[in-house]
Structure 1
Amino acid sequence: MNERQTIEDSKRAFLKSFPHVIPPLYRRMVDELLVELHLLSHQKKFQQNLLFSIGIKEVFSRFTIGYKPTEHLPLLFDSLCKSSGFEPSKIKVQASKHTTHESAKNIDDLKILLVDSNNHSQANTYYCRLMAVGVYELVMKTQTTENKDEALKESIVISKSIGLPVERVEKDLKVYSSNIERISQAIELIRETSLTEKKKKEGSNPKKEEDSPLKGDK
């Protein structure tokens, strides 16, 4: 990674790689990830690990639900990563290495897995909120219920056991959960508005064959 690269350099690299208009609803997510990845690229203690890779993949997936055109999404993800010197293919491979059916059957298995594989490296690694998201998403996929409050508690316990700052993890995950709820509501509102507008247009534009003066009894 180039330590001399500024945030403006990262933004220019991103725009050059992704020359498409981003829908307004998703611009904030893109900008925040762009800035976060840029800052991480300058942190000497930061290590791209399993939790980070899972975290960024999940954040991107969750906050691009409803994005159109969908065929732009792979390029959007790759452009975000590459703009700050991260290799998207490495992130994808690293994130896919952990599958619950192969590695962790339950929360206890997950806790042991992460402690064994990450405890030593995590203790001296620069923390970022994407790591907390990585823990949370693994917990959500491993636990038998979709209880978000329970997942948050388990995530905090596991985070403490692998050396992540508990207070920051709790704060970051609460914000993450809140933002997921907000974007879900925004997407639903857009869908409802679009459906209402479609019905209005259909109501004001009856089928031509019904209005045709040529239509009559045979």
Structure 2
Amino acid sequence: MNNVRTVSDTKRTFYSLHTRPINTIYRRVVEELMVEMHLLSVNVDFSYNPIYALGVVTSFDRFMQGYQPERDKESIFNALSQAVEQDPQRYRQEAQRLQNLAKSLPARDLIAWLSQTNHSVGDADLQAQLQAIANNPNFKYSRLFAIGLFSLLELADPELVKDEKQRTEALKTIAAGLKLSEEKLNKDLELYLSNIDKMAQALIVMADMVSADRKKREQRKQQSSTPVAPPTANE
């Protein structure tokens, strides 16, 4: 009988692959994503699919915006994927494939395709995977799958996802077609959008702190380099 990998095993693998320190504000993001991916990977009902892959890629890219040094982002993503025994290139390639598809479709066609009311959109492989999800009573839904669905809508029509009424209606249609819980889908995406706002605010605060610190250092440097006037003869 095989031993199921633990969260500690996954973290240990990650830090053996990416050995450079991770900036504090982003470490929590990386570790939370790592734990989420780990728990799914060891769940017997979980099966990898391109929409999940898009959710992973979108979540990582969105929350790692502004990371410095920029060159470390690829190493972190690769280590994250490999730590849960997945191929990072597969994630990237399948996410790109779905992104291209979403950008090429009107939102109504994308919604019809995702909700299984129009089978003529997309390629046969993706269509088969959507049907498998809809027909699987044990399909393991996840927050990352929800983010993948949201990303497709956002790419097809950015204005639609900004309009709460239209977004809710689209998600309701998709949830019904794929036999997902509409309540879970909306809750997860509300939390996702809230976290994006919080991260953006945190980055603004961090940028302000860095700027203020830089100004202080420059002022100290100027003060230390200002020549001191020699004493006058009367002193």
Structure 1, 43-52 or 61-70: larger mean CA deviation = 43-52
- The answer to whether 1:139 aligns with 2:150 is no
2:47 aligns to what?
Answer: 47
Structure 1 runs of 4+ off > 3 angstroms? Answer: 99-104, 207-213
2:222 aligns to what?
Answer: 206
TM-score w.r.t. the length of structure 2 is 0.81
Structure 1, 53-62 or 197-206: larger mean CA deviation = 197-206
Structure ID, larger Rg:
2
1:68 aligns to what?
Answer: 68
- With over 3 angstroms needed to count, the CA separation of the structure-2 counterparts of 1:180 and 1:144, relative to structure 1, is closer
- The answer to whether 1:149 aligns with 2:160 is no
Could you tell me how far 1:212 is from its partner in structure 2?
Answer: 8.8
User: In 2, distance between residues paired with 1:207 and 1:57?
Assistant: 47
Contact 2:102 2:152 in 1 (8 A): no
TM-score w.r.t. the length of structure 1 is 0.87
User: In 2, distance between residues paired with 1:179 and 1:42?
Assistant: 26
RMSD: 2.3
User: In 1, distance between residues paired with 2:28 and 2:177?
Assistant: 33
Tell me which amino acid in the other structure corresponds to 1:5.
R
User: In 1, distance between residues paired with 2:13 and 2:83?
Assistant: 5
User: In 2, distance between residues paired with 1:151 and 1:179?
Assistant: 21
2:213 aligns to what?
Answer: 197
Where do residues 106-121 of structure 1 align in structure 2 (5 Å cutoff)? 106-114=106-114, 115=116, 116=119, 117=127, 118-121=129-132
**Number of corresponding residues:** 212
- With over 3 angstroms needed to count, the CA separation of the structure-2 counterparts of 1:60 and 1:3, relative to structure 1, is farther
Question: Identity over the aligned pairs, expressed in percent?
Answer: 27
User: In 2, distance between residues paired with 1:66 and 1:103?
Assistant: 25
Structure 1, 105-114 or 142-151: larger mean CA deviation = 142-151
Could you tell me how far 1:151 is from its partner in structure 2?
Answer: 6.2
Could you tell me how far 1:204 is from its partner in structure 2?
Answer: 2.9
User: In 2, distance between residues paired with 1:27 and 1:144?
Assistant: 29
Where do residues 120-135 of structure 1 align in structure 2 (5 Å cutoff)? 120-123=131-134, 124=136, 125-135=139-149
User: In 2, distance between residues paired with 1:73 and 1:58?
Assistant: 13
Structure 1, 137-146 or 21-30: larger mean CA deviation = 137-146
- With over 3 angstroms needed to count, the CA separation of the structure-2 counterparts of 1:151 and 1:6, relative to structure 1, is farther
- With over 3 angstroms needed to count, the CA separation of the structure-2 counterparts of 1:80 and 1:144, relative to structure 1, is closer
Write out per-residue CA displacement over residues 99-131 of structure 1, whole angstroms, 9 at most, x where no aligned residue: 456764321111133234244211322111111
Structure 1, 94-103 or 18-27: larger mean CA deviation = 94-103
> What is the aligned counterpart of 1:183 among 199, 204, 217?
199
2:7 aligns to what?
Answer: 7
Could you tell me how far 1:19 is from its partner in structure 2?
Answer: 0.9
Write out per-residue CA displacement over residues 30-53 of structure 1, whole angstroms, 9 at most, x where no aligned residue: 111111111111122222112101
- With over 3 angstroms needed to count, the CA separation of the structure-2 counterparts of 1:198 and 1:102, relative to structure 1, is closer
Instruction: In structure 1, list runs of 5 or more residues that go unmatched.
Output: 214-218
Contact 2:102 2:153 in 1 (8 A): no
Write out per-residue CA displacement over residues 62-82 of structure 1, whole angstroms, 9 at most, x where no aligned residue: 110111111111110111111
